[in-house]
Structure 1
Amino acid sequence: MIKKILLSLLFLIGINAFAQGPDFKTPDYKAIEKEIKDKNSSYYYPKLMERLVKNDTLLTNEEYQHLYLGYVFQPKYNAFWRSPDEKKLREFYGKEQLGSTDYDEIIKLANHSLSDFPFDLKQLNFLSYIYHLKGDEEAAKMASLKFHSILNAILSTGDGKVCETGFHVILVEHEYLMLNVFEIESKSQALVGNCDYLSFEKGKYKVDGIYFNIEKMLENESKALK
C-alpha cells in the first residue's frame, strides 16, 4: 500500500517536473570536471555540496546539474551504491499503513541514506511523504524541491530518443525511478553502446523505449574491476 502511494506521488511530481523541465543539452563532462575543481568557480563542488546540504533553495538547474553529474568525479562515487539502510527501509515500504511512531525512524534512516549519497531520489520522495504525514510541511517541501531539482537536472541532459541524446544517469536505480515517475513499464533492458535501452510493449506508449546514457557508470565499473 505504501509503495503504491509513493508511486502515485512520484507520478504527480514527475508530470509537473517534466512539464516545466528545461530544454536539454548534452553534458560536457570535461568542462564540468574543470569547473567543479576550480576554487574560483561558482560551480566549485565543495561549496555547491555545502549549499545542497544546508537546503539552499536558490540553487539553479545548472548548479544541480553540476552537483549531480559532478558527483562521478568524487572519490565516494560508486555506480553500484545501495542504501546502507535498504533492508530496514524496505520493511516500512512493505507496510499496509504507517503509524505515527514510524515517522521519526523513517526520517532518521532516510536522512542517513542521503548523508551517504545525496542523490538517493527514492528516499527524498519517501521523506517528502513522511514529513507531510507528520505535519512538517516546510521539511516536506524542501525534500520535494530537491527531488524535483535533481529530476530536472537529469531531464535537462537529453530526451531519451536515441543513445546520442539519452538521459544521463549515475545510478541504475534512477532509470527505473524515472519510468515510475511517468508511469511506464519496461519490457526488457539492453546495453547499446554507452546506453541502457529500456524497451516497452509495442504500441502501448508513444515511444518503444528510452535510452539512458551510463558512460560514467561504465567507467566507474571498469575501475572497480581493475
Structure 2
Amino acid sequence: MKTHKKLLFITLLHFISIKTFAQENKIIIPNFDDKYSKYVKNLENGELDIDYTDFRNSFLESKQYNLKKSNYKDLKNQVYSEIEKKNYQGVINATKAILSIDYTSMFAHKYLQQTYKILGDAANQKKYHDIEFGLLNSIIKSGDGKSCETGWHVTQIEEEYFILSMMGAELQSQSISNGGNNICDKMEVKKDDGSLKTYYFEANKVFEKENEMLKK
C-alpha cells in the first residue's frame, strides 16, 4: 500500500514538472484587442503569410510596446550564455521569453530556429526561420541602404544591428544623417573582407516614437 502511494506521488510530481516545464516554454500571446496581438496569435498558430512591415509597425502602436521590460537585454545576454554552455533548452526558454515581450525580435527568432534545427525539430525550425526572414525581408526590400533617401526602413534600433551582424559588418562609427524627408542612422562599417562600407537606415519611426515617449 505504501509502495503504491509512493509511486502515485512520484507520478504526480512527474506530471506537475512536465506541466510546469510546458508552461515555462510557452510564448505568451498579449491579450490586448489590437492588431499586434492578433498578428502574434496568428503567427504562433502557423499563419505566416502576413504583411511583416505592418506587423513591425503594429508593435510600435501596441500596448505591448509600452510594457517592454528592462530585463529584455538581460534575456539576450542569457541566450549567448546558454549557447556557450550548449544548454539548448535554456536557449529555447530565453528566446521564447524575449518573444513574449517583443515578437518582432529577429534575434530571438534566429536563435530559436537554429536551436530547433540542432534538436531535429524540423517543423518549429521552419516556422521561426520563416518568421525571421519575413521580418528581415520587410526591411531590406524597403530600400537599398546606399543613401538616406533610399535607406532601409527600421522601427527599432536593434533591427539595424541585427542586419549588420547578418552581413558580417563591424560598426566603425554611427551618426545622424538627413535626406529628403528622412532622418537616418549613417553606419560606417568594416566588412569581413576588410572593405569599408556605409549603410543608411531610415529611422523616422524610431525618432517619432522616442519623441512620443519623452512627452509622456
TM-score, length basis structure 2 = 0.71
Corresponding residue to 1:68 among 47, 53, 56: 56
Contact 1:84 1:113 in 2 (8 A): no
Corresponding residue to 2:203 among 203, 206, 214: 214
TM-score, length basis structure 1 = 0.68
Contact 1:89 1:106 in 2 (8 A): no
Contact 1:163 1:212 in 2 (8 A): yes
Specify the SS of the correspondent of 1:200.
strand
Change (3 A) 1:132 1:215: same
Contact 1:161 1:211 in 2 (8 A): yes
2:3 — aligned with what?
A: none
Greater RCO structure (CA 8 Å; 6+ sep): 1
Q: Considering only aligned residues, what root-mean-square deviation do their CA atoms show, in Å?
A: 2.8
Q: CA offset at residue 130 of structure 1?
A: 1.2
Corresponding residue to 1:184 among 169, 172, 177: 169
Unaligned runs of 5+ in 1: 1-38
Q: Size of the alignment, in residue pairs?
A: 177
Change (3 A) 1:85 1:47: closer
Per-residue Cα deviation, 1:167-194 (whole angstroms, up to 9, x for no partner): 1111111111111111122210001131
2:74 — aligned with what?
A: 87
Change (3 A) 1:215 1:139: same
Contact 2:112 2:125 in 1 (8 A): yes
What percent identity do the matched residue pairs reach? 27
In the aligned structure 1, how far is the partner of 2:114 from the partner of 2:75? 17
- Is the counterpart of residue 108 in structure 1 residue 104 in structure 2? no
In the aligned structure 2, how far is the partner of 1:111 from the partner of 1:98? 18
Change (3 A) 1:65 1:109: same
In the aligned structure 2, how far is the partner of 1:197 from the partner of 1:156? 18
In the aligned structure 2, how far is the partner of 1:136 from the partner of 1:117? 23
Contact 1:199 1:210 in 2 (8 A): yes
Specify the SS of the correspondent of 1:179.
helix
